[in-house]
Structure 1
Amino acid sequence: MTPRAWQEVPRSKVERFSSIALAEAPEIAQKILTEIRQDYPYLQLVEDESGEPMALVGIRRAIEGFVRHLASGAAHPRVPPEVFQEFGRGEGLHGRSLDSLQAVYRLGVRLTWRRFAEIGQQVDIAAPAMYELAESGFEYLDGLVEQSVLGYAEAAARRASERLRLQRQLIDLLLVEPRGDSARTLAERAARVGWELPETIAVGVLMRPAREAVAPAVGQGILLEMESEQPRIVIPDPETAGRADTLRRATAGWSGA
């Protein structure tokens, strides 16, 4: 966006617009949160240390940051990264997609723009400048989404790492001599990775075709631990029809026993 029309708005009008928008930011944020609760009742709203919903804090900061940058003449308002990364992180840690979060952001931008358009009319800012303001708002939305994607990716990586750790512990437990409470411990470990304990298992040790070889796509239900020099594989109910053929295709190029 080339913010030519906005730059031509008299300074006094920009300051008046910013003053009104900043003063109303808490109220706008509260209205947005109310709409979010109505339209997305299943979304979990986490509270900060003061007991205030983090979503409300994030919305308010986003509005205030956007308006302050407009007042300063900055072409590209800076997104407050921490809270929006945290929103994405929360979705990732709970295994949800970012679809609902992005829909919530679009709702917030739409409601904010509705009020900003009214303030623009009140201050008598020309339509071309307000069009540019709307474009800048959607650029800002892209920034919010980008920060949330960063948080989401971090959480997804953390979840994957934790799952691999738990899966490795499960494999270790499957391969040791049973002890007194091992059955209960095994059931608990299996449940944590969503693995249904089978009647029988087969265990294999793989030889890497190359040091940086990509893990074979062995399919759901088969445990694979790639951190060892010789990766270990645990196949539940190996006599299941078609399982041997699936494994043979998945491990093409690999050797082992």
Structure 2
Amino acid sequence: MYSELLPSLTKLVPGLVGEIVDSVRAAIPDYDRPQGSPYNEVIRSGVERNVLGFVAGLADPAQPHDRRNELCRKLGAFEAMEGRPLAVLQSAYRIGAQLAWSRIRDVLSGQELSAAAVSALAASLFRYMDDAAELSREGYDQVKGAEHEKREAARRLLLRDLVRGPDTDCAAVATLHPAADWAAPDQVTLVALPTGAPVVRPLLDPDLLLDLHDPEPYLLVPGPLTEPRRTMLESALADSRAAVGLTVPLARAADSLRWARQVLALVADGVLDDGTLTLCEDHLVSTWLLADGPLMDQIAQRRLAFLTGVEERRRPWLTDTLRAWLRTRGPAARMSDDLGLHVQTVRYRMRVLEGILREDLTEPDNRFATETALRALWLRGRAGGPGGPSPAGP
């Protein structure tokens, strides 16, 4: 009946999808997220699949809508996970149906269709959208069901027990939470999140454990953080920062979480570069050096005590020179390149240091302690704290 309309309706699809998405975002504040964000892409995908499904159904009424149906259920589940009433999504469906019919009527104005055919087309469209809304209700109810609630609560308790402390008896913990329905892996990777971090939960893999109720929210990834897992997390975190701990045996999950939280704190302080995901694996030494700030302060006070006898204006260039020597163990020529200074200036500085430190420059343990103290102070200085890198002096 509508075969002559199909070319015009097909051309209409891209613009109509964008128009519906914009109208929904404008009318419903909960859906007004930045263009290109994972959240917005979920909405766009839902609109596009429904519009394409309707046009395909006109071409072949017997064509199944399996992909559309599954997506509509997921949209309903998404609403439940986000804690919104289903009425919000139903409003979006109504906006989409009304706008679609308005644009279809524009196409019909140039066609010779009987009033009965136009009426049947309108009924078909609104029936199609009613079906989509009902499918979303199924997904919503499934998530809201008592069984799901029970499993989520059990998984949250399981996760808390797994990270309670080192050498957790994982087998015993698993038997305490049979309702969690979770297959314990040999290894896990913990991820620390900032308080209140937005998480698009439907984009998370179903085997992840998460506790967003904790004051310091976190999640557990079974196994290592593979590239697909990383992509999944970056999408689900919607550009919020997170820190990834090391992959460890399940019994050491608490260690992985502790390291992840340390890295997250260093990112927040500006010590480590910001990004969606910061991996502990990439910052092992920095994490170790700054894991116990007060203890590192004590080491610095002892190893850098020689600075107390040096004029304040000379301290920055002495520490810069000492760091360069400890880092390179090189001759004056190499250090001059590293510091951007004349060779004679470097030699003069080294003579001053040798006169102050004497055997501390040659004794391995003292040299190592001094280097770690300087490195820790330099890292802190990256965040604008005391003891950071300073311009070279004369």
> What TM-score does the superposition give when structure 2 sets the normalisation length?
0.36
Change (3 A) 1:165 1:68: closer
Equivalent residue runs for 1:42-81 within 5 Å: 42-43=30-31, 53-72=41-60, 74=61, 78=65, 80-81=68-69
2:115 pairs with 1:127: yes
**Partners of 1:19 and 1:77 in 2: CA distance:** 21
Aligned twin of 1:163: 153
Contact kept, 8 Å, 2:46 with 2:75, in 1: the verdict is no
Cα displacement string for residues 73-112 of structure 1 (whole angstroms, at most 9, x for unaligned residues): x279747112212211111112211001001001100000
**Partners of 1:162 and 1:131 in 2: CA distance:** 46
2:89 pairs with 1:101: yes
**Partners of 1:41 and 1:100 in 2: CA distance:** 10
* More helix per residue: 2
Q: What's the offset of the Cα at 1:144?
A: 0.5
Which amino acid is 1:118 matched to? D
Higher relative contact order (CA 8 A, sep 6+): 1
The structure whose Rg is larger is: 2
**Partners of 1:24 and 1:145 in 2: CA distance:** 23
The gaps in structure 2 that reach 5 residues or longer are 161-211, 215-394
Q: 1:110 aligns with which of 79, 83, 98?
A: 98
2:14 pairs with 1:29: no
Q: What's the offset of the Cα at 1:192?
A: 3.8
Which amino acid is 2:20 matched to? I
Cα displacement string for residues 144-184 of structure 1 (whole angstroms, at most 9, x for unaligned residues): 112211221222232343235557999xxxxxxxxxxxxxx
**Partners of 2:47 and 2:158 in 1: CA distance:** 41
2:137 pairs with 1:143: no
Change (3 A) 1:134 1:75: farther
Change (3 A) 1:145 1:160: farther
Aligned residues: 163
Q: What's the offset of the Cα at 1:39?
A: 0.6
**Partners of 2:127 and 2:9 in 1: CA distance:** 19
**Partners of 1:19 and 1:83 in 2: CA distance:** 25
**Partners of 1:123 and 1:46 in 2: CA distance:** 38
**Partners of 2:38 and 2:83 in 1: CA distance:** 27
Cα displacement string for residues 204-246 of structure 1 (whole angstroms, at most 9, x for unaligned residues): xxxxxxxxxxxxxxxxxxxxxxxxxxxxxxxxxxxxxxxxxxx
**Partners of 1:99 and 1:54 in 2: CA distance:** 18
**Partners of 1:42 and 1:21 in 2: CA distance:** 30
Contact kept, 8 Å, 1:58 with 1:83, in 2: the verdict is yes
Cα displacement string for residues 29-81 of structure 1 (whole angstroms, at most 9, x for unaligned residues): 11111111111122265999999712222212211211121122x27974711
Q: Which segments of structure 1 move beyond 3 Å, counting only runs of 4 or more? A: 44-52, 75-79, 164-170
Q: What's the offset of the Cα at 1:118?
A: 1.5
The gaps in structure 1 that reach 5 residues or longer are 1-8, 171-190, 194-257
Q: 1:153 aligns with which of 128, 141, 151?
A: 141
Aligned twin of 1:179: none
Aligned twin of 1:40: 28
> Could you say what the CA RMSD is over the residues aligned between the two structures, in angstroms?
3.4
**Partners of 2:102 and 2:150 in 1: CA distance:** 41
> What TM-score does the superposition give when structure 1 sets the normalisation length?
0.54
